[in-house]
C-alpha cells in the first residue's frame, strides 16, 4: 500500500472518529500531493510521496521553533501533534550514533586534501536521504571534521 493510499484510508478513519487535528493534517497532505502532482505533470511515485511528507514534517519543525521563540505554546503544541501524525508515515529515522558511523565511514574514504563539509555531505546524504534530518547530519559532519 502506497503512502497516499494509507493516508487516504486514515483520513476516512479520522472523519469517522471526528479527530479534527488528524483530519486537518491528513487533508493538508492530500492537498500537497495534489499540488505536487500538478507540478510534476504525472502521478507521484513512492519516493515523491515520501518527499512531500518529509517537506511537511520539516515545515512543522520550523513552525514549532518559531512559535516557541514567540512564546506561543498552544500553537507549538498543535504543530507538534501534527508533526507526530506525519512522522508515522515516514520510515524510521536513524539515531545520531548510526549517522555518526556512516559519516565516519565516508570520511575515511575521502582523500585527506578533499575533506571539507561540502564533500562529506555530498558523500553522506544519498545514504541518509529520508532516514535522517539534514540539520542533524550537518551538525554531526561538522563535529567529525573538527575531530579528524
The DSSP code sequence of 72-125 is -HHHHHHHHHHHHHHHTTSPPPPPHHHHHHHHHHHHHHS-GGG-SHHHHHHHHH
One domain, residues 10 and 71: yes
One domain, residues 14 and 60: yes
CATH code for the domain of 56: 1.10.1510.10
One domain, residues 68 and 121: no
One domain, residues 20 and 64: yes
Q: Is the pLDDT of residue 148 over 80?
A: no
Which structural domain range is residue 108 located in?
A: 96-147
One domain, residues 9 and 78: yes
> To which residue does cell 515545515 refer?
59
- Mean pLDDT for 78-84 is 95
Query: Greater confidence, 132 or 15?
Result: 15
One domain, residues 101 and 126: yes
Cα 116 versus chain centre, distance: 25
So what's the pLDDT on residue 147?
79
Distances in whole angstroms, Cα of residue 25 to Cα of each of 58, 62, 107, 112: 14, 16, 39, 47
One domain, residues 12 and 51: yes
pLDDT in tens, 85-135: 999 998 888 888 888 888 888 888 878 777 778 888 888 888 888 788 788
Percent of the residues in the chain that have a pLDDT greater than 90, as a whole number: 49
One domain, residues 27 and 82: yes
One domain, residues 83 and 101: no
Helical (H) or strand (E) element with 64: helix 46-69
| CA nearest to 120, candidates 98, 100, 96 | 100
Amino acid at each position: 500500500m502506497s503512502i497516499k493510499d494509507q493516508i487516504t484510508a486514515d483520513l476516512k478513519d479520522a472523519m469517522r472518529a471526528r479527530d479534527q487535528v488528524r483530519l486537518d493534517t491528513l487533508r493538508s497532505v492530500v492537498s500537497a500531493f495534489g499540488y505536487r502532482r500538478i507540478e510534476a505533470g504525472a502521478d507521484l511515485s513512492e519516493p515523491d510521496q515520501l518527499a512531500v511528507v518529509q517537506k511537511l514534517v520539516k515545515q512543522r519543525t520550523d513552525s514549532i521553533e518559531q512559535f516557541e521563540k514567540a512564546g506561543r505554546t498552544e500553537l507549538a503544541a498543535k504543530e507538534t501533534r501534527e508533526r507526530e501524525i506525519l512522522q508515522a508515515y515516514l520510515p524510521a529515522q536513524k539515531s545520531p550514533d548510526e549517522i555518526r558511523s556512516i559519516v565516519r565511514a565516508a570520511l575515511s574514504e575521502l582523500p585527506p586534501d578533499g575533506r571539507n563539509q561540502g564533500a562529506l555531505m555530498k558523500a553522506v546524504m544519498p545514504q541518509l536521504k529520508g532516514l535522517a534530518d539534514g540539520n542533524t547530519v550537518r551538525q554531526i559532519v561538522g563535529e567529525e571534521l573538527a575531530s579528524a
